[in-house]
Homo-oligomer: A and B are copies of this chain.
Amino acid sequence: MARLGRDDWVAAALDAFERHGSAGVAVVPLAKALGVTRGSFYWHFDTRDELLAAALERWEREHSDAVLTAMDAVADPRERLRLLADRALSKPPTIFAQLLRGAEEPIVGAVLERSAQARTAAIAKAYRDCGLTAASARHRATVVYALYIGLAHLQPSARDRAGLTRELVALLVP
């Protein structure tokens, strides 16, 4: 049977995280799923936490940053905010929701922290571009990001999403 590389473990871990949350990233069950013993894992990684961190870093690179670059591409700040409201509600953000649910773990909390910083800054910039003062833009951005978190957590039904998007845009775009 083919031997494994670091990437195989990372892929399996991210998959498990999306489906079962951070508790799903466990050495023995993953080893079983990959058809090796636990000892194999510790050749590639020092600890289980290193695997989790590597999996979440991959997600950050490949998915999380995409939202920010998409926002960067839009010149009109109001349009930028609408794009965000749309993204927040268009598809269920399963990995992000799992991050929120697993925020107790420091590794997961750190990823959320980085994400919060970057996204809040981008949103605040959009509001400044709309003419709000720096302080007001910062508060508004915290509100918007809190909303983003809350909606990801609640995972509203598909039937509710259209109405919610309208509601959000009316509330948040000046």
Q: Interface of A with B (CB < 8 Å)?
A: 21-23, 98, 100-104, 109, 116, 135-136, 139-140, 142-143, 145-151, 153-154, 156, 160, 163-164, 166-168, 171-172
Contacts and interface: CB of A to CB of B under 8 A. Distances in A.
A146 B147 contact: yes
Nearest to A140: B167
B151 A22 contact: no
Contact of A154 (B23, B98, B142): B142
Contacts of A153: 100, 103, 146, 149-150, 153
A13 to B, nearest CB: 15
B154 A145 contact: yes
Given A23-B104, A150-B147, A156 B142 contact: yes
Task: Count identical subunits in the complex.
Answer: 2
A171 to B, nearest CB: 6
A145 to B, nearest CB: 7
A148 B168 CA distance: 15
Contacts of A101: 100-104, 109
Interface residue SS majority, chain A = helix
A163 B139 contact: yes
18 contacts: A100-B101, A100-B153, A101-B109, A116-B154, A139-B164, A139-B167, A142-B160, A143-B147, A143-B168, A145-B150, A146-B146, A146-B150, A146-B153, A146-B154, A147-B150, A149-B149, A149-B154, A153-B153
Contacts of A164: 139, 142-143
Contacts of A146: 146-147, 149-151, 153-154
A7 B61 CA distance: 48
